[in-house]
Each structure stands twice: as C-alpha cells, then as structure tokens.
C-alpha cells in the first residue's frame, strides 16, 4: 500500500520544477493528482510523465492570482470530485528588483499577488472541499521567507507572509482535521533559478551555482524531487500530528550564524 492511496491531491504550479516533481511523487504514492498551472503546454508534459509511470492525473488551467480563475477551478473540482485531500500551494514567481527605494511597485504587487495572495485565494476556495473529511495543506514558502536576500524585498515579504499564513491556517482548521504546513526550500535546481541567475550553460548561472554550493554545508543545490519527498511526508499520515510547522530543506544554509571560517579558508570553497 502506498502512502497516498485513495487521496486526491491538488498541485498548483505543476507544469515545471518543484510542482512537476511533486505531482509525479504524489502519483507514485498512489494519489490521483490534479495538476494546475497557467502554462498548459508544460502542464500537459507533466500529465504525460505521470501517465508514463502508471499514475493517475488530471490537469486544469489555473491562474492563482485571479480570483475568478480560482473560483472556476474550485467549482470544477467540486463537480467532478466533490472533495480533495491534499493541497500543495506551490505556484510562485520571483525576480530581483533592486533596493527597496528603487524596487518597482508593479513587481512588488505581482510577486505578492501570485506567491502570497495566490496561496490565500486557492486555500480560501478549496478548503471547503476538505471540511468534511479533513486533509493536508502544504504551502511552498522559502528560506527567503525566514530571512532576507539583497534586492528581493517583494519575494521576502511574500514568502514571509506564506510562512505565517500557514500558521493561521493550522489554527483555523485544526478542529476540522485539516493540517497546514510549509516547506522552506533552499536553492533548488529549477527553471526559476535559470530565470533569476542564468542557466548552467551561462557564465552568470555557473557563477551563481558555484557560490550557492560554497555557502551550502551539503555542498550542492537541492533537487525538485528532494522537495517532493518532504511534501509526501507532509501530505501523508506519517506527519499526522504535525501542523503549523515550516520545514527547512536548504542543505544547511540557514544553520549558520555567519559564514565564519568559510570567508577565509580556501578549503571551504570547492564544494563539487
Ligand atoms: N527553485 C528554488 O530555488 C526555490 C527556492 C525556494 C522556494 N521556491 C518556491 O518553489 C515554488 C516552485 O518554484 P520552482 O522553483 O519550481 O519554479 P518554476 O518556475 O519551475 O515553477 C513555478 C510554476 O508556477 C507556475 N505559475 C507561475 N505563476 C502562476 C500563476 N499565477 N498561476 C498558476 N501557476 C503559476 C509556473 O508556470 C511554473 O510552472 C515557488 O513558490 C518558489 O517560490 C523555489
């Protein structure tokens, strides 16, 4: 018996990266996966990948930042399935915008509207589908929701909000048997990192990855599947008494007080 047999699991941002990997992992564990995204072409590839491993998947267009789109999505789920068991709030965007006094207000609004407001909207309209039987909500925050990055105040504000919104959900719905937890990934090799820093083939992307490996105690970036395994834990009964928690999965980056010897000892720098 797999850990998510008989469960219906919604995954937002399922077209690429952590969302696709989690959709696949949920399907491997026996769930019927409802993958949702704005990018319907890439979403179809996720669906095919699930079918190829013998899993069950449905896909639907969803713009988490648009409440009409979210209510339509919720109505479709209610009509076809009546309830859901797992909600993986993962859709997100990120972009550098400069120091706060130069940070474009439109960028701040866009990141907040997808990463934070999107998590709120999808939860607001899908929680009614969990009220009868309970379930598990997993919000994808970030280590950037626990501390800050240069030039990324919008993302830091959004993910900080997601971390605390998770606690609010756990309190509001504990008596309904709905748990809510967050995953705070470190730097994970996905298209988002390519768009922020450049791909592995580009000099800027290579430099970024080298620096990330250097500051990460485990000496490497994380993989989408490693985040997906944490999501399986939080979705399953293995975490039955865990709620309101944020789990860091960052290779140890946030374990530092400051980089200390790393700044001076050349032995630290080579990580690969
Ligand atoms: N990759 C990392 O290093 C990292 C680190 C910490 C947190 N995260 C978070 O993990 C989540 C997944 O990111 P990823 O790295 O897999 O990036 P990604 O760009 O590969 O995936 C993000 C997905 O969200 C979708 N999306 C964007 N806007 C949407 C919207 N309005 N409605 C529906 N779908 C939308 C995209 O189409 C894409 O499929 C994000 O919330 C991100 O902030 C990523």
Residues with a CB atom less than 6 Å from ligand 1: 12-13, 15-19, 37-39, 62-65, 90-94, 114-115, 118, 140, 142, 185, 187-188, 190-193
pTM over 0.85: yes
Name the residue with the closest Cα to ligand 1, atom 30: 63
* Homologous superfamily of the 8-268 domain (CATH): NAD(P)-binding Rossmann-like Domain (3.40.50.720)
The pLDDT confidence band at residue 270, using thresholds 50, 70 and 90, is low
Half-sphere exposure of residue 178: CA atoms within 13 angstroms, side-chain side: 26
* Length of the chain (residues): 272
Calpha distance 230→248 (Å, rounded): 10
Strands 86-89, 32-37: pairing is unpaired
| Secondary structure class of 235 (helix, strand, coil) | helix
Closest residue by Cα to atom 1, ligand 1, is: 188
Active site residue 173: no
Residue 272's Cβ-side half-sphere holds a number of Cα atoms within 13 Å equal to: 8
Counting residues of the chain whose pLDDT is more than 70, the rounded percentage is 98
For residues 89-101, give the mean pLDDT.
98
Look at residue 266 in the predicted model and tell me its pLDDT: 72
pLDDT at 268: 66
Q: Which of 66, 57, 74 is nearest to 91 (CA)?
A: 66
Q: Which of 11, 13, 114, 253 to mutate to test the pocket of ligand 1 (most atoms within 8 A of CB)?
A: 13
């Amino acid at each position: 018996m797999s850990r998510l047999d008989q469960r219906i699991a919604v995954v937002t941002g399922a077209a690429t990266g952590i969302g696709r990997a989690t959709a696949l992992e949920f399907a491997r564990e026996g769930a019927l996966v409802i993958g949702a995204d704005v990018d319907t072409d890439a979403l179809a590839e996720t669906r095919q990948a699930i079918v190829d491993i013998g899993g069950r998947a449905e896909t639907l267009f969803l713009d988490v930042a648009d409440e009409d789109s979210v209510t339509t999505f919720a109505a479709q789920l209610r009509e076809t399935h009546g309830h859901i068991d797992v909600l993986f709030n993962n859709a997100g965007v990120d972009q550098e915008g400069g120091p706060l006094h130069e940070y474009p207000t439109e960028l701040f609004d866009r990141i907040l509207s997808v990463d934070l407001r999107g998590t709120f909207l999808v939860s607001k309209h899908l929680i009614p589908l969990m009220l009868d039987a309970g379930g598990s909500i997993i919000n994808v925050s970030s280590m950037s929701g626990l501390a800050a990055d240069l030039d990324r105040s919008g993302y830091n504000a959004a993910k900080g909000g997601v971390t605390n919104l998770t606690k609010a959900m756990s309190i509001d719905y504990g008596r309904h048997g709905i748990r809510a937890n967050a995953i705070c990934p470190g730097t994970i090799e996905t298209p988002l990192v390519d768009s922020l820093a450049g791909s592995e083939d580009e000099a800027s992307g290579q430099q970024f990855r080298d620096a990330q490996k250097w500051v990460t105690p485990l000496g490497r970036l994380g993989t989408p599947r490693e985040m997906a395994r944490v999501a399986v834990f939080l979705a399953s009964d293995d975490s039955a008494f865990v709620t309101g928690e944020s789990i860091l999965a960052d290779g140890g980056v946030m374990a530092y007080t400051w980089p200390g010897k790393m700044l001076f000892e050349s032995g630290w720098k080579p990580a690969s």
